[in-house]
Amino acid sequence: MAVEYVTYQGIKFPPAYNSERSLRFAHKEFQVQDDDVFNVTYPKSGTVWMIEILSLIRSGGDPAWNRAVLNSTRMPWFATHLGLESALSYPRPRLLTCHLPVQLFPTSFFGSRAKVVYTLRNPKDVLVSYFYFSKMCSSYKDPESFEQFLQDFLSGNVPHGSWFDHVRGWMEMKGKENFFFITYEELQQDLRGSVRRLCQFLEQELDDRAINSVVENASFRAMKENKMCNSTLLPRDIMDQEKGTFLRKGICGDWKNHFTVAQSEAFDRIYHDRMGGLTEAFPWDAR
Ligand code: A3P
């Protein structure tokens, strides 16, 4: 069946759980509370990983909650119709998730003391992960080819819009007290140190034992085994597990197995054009 994306303010969203109404509500009417913590990402940047980390931190390192309750209930997708219900009945302080670009984020956030954790990832790895994800998700168009998907990604013609705009938009928040950004690559390289930094930002003290438990239970291996976060419980008409695996490889640099030299050079040119002027140097910028 042909997929028709929902469009809100010029950005496409997958139709499964999103509607123009749910997106408008999230943007204009959703009431942010000062003690809310938001997990914000562009797709395929480590969203579900961060859900595990943040919920483990919230439960002081005890994995019982992560093992018993679905990730989408632990950190509801408040901009979708299903997620909104969970978000509205969630006891404070809430943990919430979304892929919204900053210009569509709840207006009530700005001026609040709520916190945002923004996770970003090497866009070439995002692209590869997004390519495989689109194949297994029924609410995404099946990519015609890797080359076509690359062109669509570069021009922002994919659900959730342009990676470049998303990152540039959110990075404007850099330096604000209630904004914390981290990369997938840093999580990979030093999960323990990353968890410590997150705890500091969240003003939640965890002892060494609790931190060890967060690190252990948020590992790729532990997450693969946990049905509450490995997506295997999603119905087939949402995610077809025969067409792929949500927790696919979980590595940095898989793009090297997919891009030709010409594709990589073309990508780099656009990357430098679009990201020029951003003072931040990300781990993948190191030559
Ligand atoms: P790959 O497709 O490259 O394997 P999102 O949650 O934003 O959709 O991102 C999914 C990507 O994060 C997938 O990347 C997935 O494997 C990876 N991921 C999720 N949990 C991870 C973990 N604990 N360690 C490493 N990668 C993880």
Ligand 1 mutation pick, 48, 122, 257, max ligand atoms within 8 A of CB: 48
Predicted confidence at residue 287, as pLDDT, reads 54
CA 162 to chain centre: 14
Averaged pLDDT, groups of 10, the chain, 287 residues long:
92 93 97 98 98 98 98 97 94 98 98 98 98 95 97 98 98 97 98 98 98 98 97 89 93 98 97 88 85
Atom nearest to 218 CA in ligand 1: 23
Question: Is there a contact between 26 and 43 (Cβ–Cβ < 8 Å)?
Answer: no
Question: pTM of this prediction?
Answer: 0.97
Return the active site residues: 99
Question: Is there a contact between 245 and 139 (Cβ–Cβ < 8 Å)?
Answer: no
Predicted confidence at residue 281, as pLDDT, reads 87
What is the end-to-end Cα distance of the chain in Å, rounded? 44
Question: Ramachandran region of residue 9, left (φ > 0), alpha (ψ -120 to 50) or beta?
Answer: left
Predicted confidence at residue 56, as pLDDT, reads 98
Which protein residues are within 6 Å of ligand 1, measured from CB?
41, 43-49, 125, 129, 132, 218-220, 223, 247-250, 254
DSSP state of 241: T
ipTM for the whole complex: 0.99
Ligand 1 mutation pick, 55, 77, 129, 139, max ligand atoms within 8 A of CB: 129
Question: What own/partner pairs with CB < 8 Å and gap ≥ 24 does 107-112 have?
Answer: 107/27, 107/28, 108/30, 108/31, 108/32, 109/32, 109/38, 112/32, 112/33, 112/34, 112/36, 112/178
